[in-house]
Amino acid sequence: MKIAVFSAKSYDKKFLAHIPSNASSPTELTYHDFSLSLSTVSLANGAEAVCVFVNDVLSAEVLTHLSQAGVRAILLRCAGYNNVDLKTAESLGLFVANVPSYSPEAVAEFALALLQTLNRNTHRAYNRVREGNFNLDGLLGRTLRGKTVGIIGTGKIGVAFAKILQGFGCRVLAYDPYPNPEAFKDYGTYVDLHEELLPQSDFVSLHCPLTDQTRHIINEKSLSEMKRGAMLINTSRGGLINTKAVIAALKSHHLGGLALDVYDGEGALFYQDHSGDIIQDDELMRLMTFPNVLVSGHQAFFTEEALTEIAECTLRNLEDFRAGRSCRNSLVHGGRTLVRRDSVPVRI
């Protein structure tokens, strides 16, 4: 079986190298370090499957080209599937499976790291000291103990984040249209998003999937409902935030700080070295001028444990496809998309 792997980095090659071959169906992996799109889809010709990541484009047009080229399976090595036209994939008879959960603690820990870096100005202190400046002015933070943290989305990552916050002595509020009471009950309280969570939280962290309902859930209205000086953390999907509205809230000092591991326009930038380029994204460049804004390159998942889990789950999905058996991570089947509660991405 030939598999075209797109957006492949050195670490992907290392962890995917363990996909086994067998005499009846030897596996041949072809790696492409660029993303799958309409301009690169022809490179999947001759492959039976493509293995893709978060910023690969699997629109109706791309999927049609893949199907015509003989591709029969889409293996997502990520949880998010907002970049896949599932209805078109189902109509074409394509197998599509994701990795719904991989080391939720990795993302939760990184969210906490961003929160504390932003809160305690660790990044600014590091740069100052390297220049021999040990002045503490401008580095004042807040003790987390006793503070209220709002979590939007209580899948596995949201619950893992709440568990960490409990250790800090925080009061945790949560909002999720699909509550997870059994997993969350020991760590916090479910409340209304607009009436309680946003107005009461000192910190708000996003852990929900990107859907039509959650796109720009952080907008001008929701930002105005947040407590003045509150900080916002997003390790989920960039499209959850209206960037223009966030810039306005930062300029007015209503939003006290912003930490992003994801960005709405990241597809053209993230996972590539642009240090020698003039970046044309004016909104991202404006964000990076604020002293109270942190931006990282979608790395919250990036641990050895998570990459191992991703590779192993991708392998299981591939084996299900090869064997023609039911796959618990399948997102399409029998004339309808399969977006079950347990398949909703925890890292999206």
Closest CA to 257 of 224, 291, 289: 291
HSE (side-chain half, CA atoms, 13 Å) at 53: 21
- List the beta strands (DSSP E) in 6-72: 28-31, 49-52
Q: How far is CA 178 from the centre of its chain?
A: 19
- For 73, half-sphere exposure in the C-beta direction (CA atoms, 13 angstrom radius) is 27
* Residue 250 amino acid letter: L
- Judge contact between 292 and 258, C-beta under 8 A: yes
For residue 24, give the DSSP letter.
S
Catalytic site includes residue 237: yes
Residue 189, H or E segment: strand 189-190
What is the spatial distance between Cα 150 and Cα 191, in angstroms, rounded to a whole number? Answer: 9
Exactly one of 266, 328, 336, 341 is catalytic; which is it?
Answer: 266
CA angle 321, 325, 326 (to 5 degrees): 100
The CA distance from 262 to 238, in Å, is: 5
Nearest to 19 by CA among 318, 321, 330: 318
Sheet holding 257-260, edge to edge: 189-190, 171-175, 148-152, 203-206, 231-234, 257-260, 293-295
Q: Which of 48, 77, 90, 237 is catalytic?
A: 237
Which are the catalytic amino acids?
237, 266
